A and B are shown apart, each in its own frame.
Chain A
Amino acid sequence: MRGMLTVGRNKVRRALVALALAAALAGCEAQGSAGAGEGAGFRISSPEASIPQAKWKITVHPSGNSGKLGKIRAKRIRAQRPTTRKLIRRVYDGVFLAPPAQRRDVLQRYFNGRAAAKFADTAGVPDRATEVTTTVRKADVGIDAAGARRAAAVVVVRAHGRLGPRSFGLLHRATLWLERSKGSWNVIAFEVRQRPIK
């Protein structure tokens, strides 16, 4: 899918829509990724690391509740804010800014194997992209008020870069369906809409 992006050609602009259900692929992936998310360190080791990037704007709020949120539930939601934010930042740093070799490692922390590959193919910049600069990075995360175990995140990223001699730009919008298992958040399904822009 990355190949379809054909960045740099003005006339070739295809919107990509993809949805994958990682959940289906494995009811057991939770174990594989458990514990890998929060504790492990992650640092981008690419030239992009030195390029100023847009600041993340991530809002996290309870969803699915009717009426006032009780203290216990509010506390549960608050406790998950840092971890969901971390997931968003890492996944998107991975597909936009990390070198290809590092990208898969990052994604496999939060997706099962097939879903990670599919997300990598669908979202982010081409493998050979350089000088990637993000100009918009924002996300809105709704966490299930009942148990803070499920969440839906809408992520928007606008980025520019170069592919060989050509410059490219793209607008990425995705919905990530998240589930918390054994203390770690995982992406169980996603839908990506990504299109080239000038």
Chain B
Amino acid sequence: MRRYVALLSAFVALVATTLPLLGRGAQSAASSVVVGKVDGSFQPKKGKIFVLVIGNDARAGNPDRALADAIHLVGINTTTMKGGILNFPRDSWVTIPGSGSARINEALIRGGPALVADTVRSLTGIRPDLWVMVGFEDFQDIIKDLGPVTMDIERPIQDPYGSGANLKAGRQPLGATKALAFVRTRKVFSGGDVTRTTNHGRFLIALLRKLRGDVDAKPASLLKWLAATREHARLNVSSDELYRLGVLASQVKPGDIGNVTVPVRLGMVGSASVVFIQNAAPIYKRFRTTATL
């Protein structure tokens, strides 16, 4: 019950999400841009970039050592300008480098964002180029700063005893409270946390759509997104790099971003309920090779 899906920072996600630069134009000449770094190097990796987006379950603050209840690897192919978001359910039973086997969300509490990145790398063969992380409050603060995010809700969501969500079906703007409720909801879904994890990806794409809309209408609004990200998210990129990422993010088409949750089956380890990732190798390979899903 204490695992909230603290969600990701909007922008950051986009940021993450993005990286292709030239979005809509006839001329997409520019090359790949690279930003941040997990291991200290600047690495454009042949037109691909991967960003690890982490949402921790801290209700206040944004500590290194908490449970990572939202883990998403965002990839962008800067040649094709397409990308993907690969979502990992928090209960995925994985090998955490140097720390044995455990649920993937424990990687954060055991070794901070760097260990989450290492875990994802050992799992997928993809090394994240940078990471961004938000906590429980950060998520709401970002939405408060940026304004409501428009989401398509397929079916009504009512979860009075869990997330508190009370959302009608249809396209609607989600403010900070509703957005948090949306991304926290899992118990009322038959797919439980797996569905929630997929919803995180959908929310990230909705954020990207909002970013594009804002910047299209008023380019300088990107500076507001940057300010919100700097203030509320933790990330291992400089302000200059973030700015460039933001410019890139604003050019990514949401429709060109795939949203895939790794396939899992339910299981038990001792008395703990977990999920085992299965048949994900082809997905990893494709993502690793093309940065798209």
Taking beta carbons and an 8 Å cutoff, which residues of A are in contact with B? 1, 16-25, 27, 63-66, 114-115, 118, 122, 140-147, 149-154, 175, 177, 179, 188-189, 191-192
In the bound assembly, the distance between CA atoms of A191 and B28 in angstroms comes to 11
Do B227 and A188 have beta carbons less than 8 Å apart? no
In the bound assembly, the distance between CA atoms of A17 and B243 in angstroms comes to 22
Identity of the chain A residue whose Cβ is nearest the Cβ of B31 in the assembled complex: A24
Do B24 and A17 have beta carbons less than 8 Å apart? yes
Identity of the chain A residue whose Cβ is nearest the Cβ of B245 in the assembled complex: A23
Do A24 and B30 have beta carbons less than 8 Å apart? yes
6 A-B pairs with the lowest CB-CB distances in the bound complex, closest first: A142-B220, A64-B223, A24-B33, A21-B30, A63-B220, A152-B219
In the bound assembly, the distance between CA atoms of A24 and B42 in angstroms comes to 12
Do B230 and A151 have beta carbons less than 8 Å apart? no
Chain A contact residues, majority secondary structure: strand
B side interface size, CB within 8 A? 33
Chain B contact residues, majority secondary structure: loop
Interface residues of B in 215-229 (CB under 8 A from A): 218-224, 226-227
Do B224 and A150 have beta carbons less than 8 Å apart? no
- B8-38 contact mask (Cβ, 8 Å, vs A): 1 or 0: 0000000000000111111111111110000
B251 contacts the other chain (CB 8 A): yes
Decide: A189 near B223, CB < 8 A? Known: A1-B27, A23-B33, A179-B243: no
Among B42, B227, B243, which residue has the most Cβ atoms of chain A within 10 A? B243
B152 contacts the other chain (CB 8 A): no
Decide: A152 near B220, CB < 8 A? Known: A19-B22, A24-B21, A189-B247: yes
A13 nearest CB across to chain B (Å) = 14
Q: Apart from A1-B27, A23-B244, A142-B219, what are 19 other A-B pairs with CB-CB below 8 Å?
A: A17-B25, A19-B21, A19-B27, A19-B28, A20-B21, A21-B247, A24-B21, A24-B32, A24-B33, A63-B223, A64-B220, A65-B227, A142-B223, A144-B227, A147-B239, A149-B239, A150-B243, A151-B223, A191-B251
In the bound assembly, the distance between CA atoms of A169 and B215 in angstroms comes to 27
In the bound assembly, the distance between CA atoms of A25 and B32 in angstroms comes to 8
In the bound assembly, the distance between CA atoms of A4 and B175 in angstroms comes to 45
Do B223 and A18 have beta carbons less than 8 Å apart? no
Do A19 and B240 have beta carbons less than 8 Å apart? no
Give the chain A neighbours of B27 by CB distance below 8 A.
1, 17-20, 118, 122
B248 nearest CB across to chain A (Å) = 7
B39 contacts the other chain (CB 8 A): no
Give the chain B neighbours of A189 by CB distance below 8 A.
21, 30, 244, 247
A111 nearest CB across to chain B (Å) = 12
Do A145 and B223 have beta carbons less than 8 Å apart? yes
Q: List 25 A-B contacts (CB under 8 A).
A: A16-B25, A16-B26, A17-B26, A19-B22, A19-B24, A20-B29, A21-B247, A21-B248, A23-B244, A23-B247, A24-B31, A24-B33, A24-B244, A64-B224, A64-B226, A64-B227, A145-B223, A145-B227, A149-B239, A150-B226, A150-B239, A152-B222, A154-B218, A177-B219, A188-B247
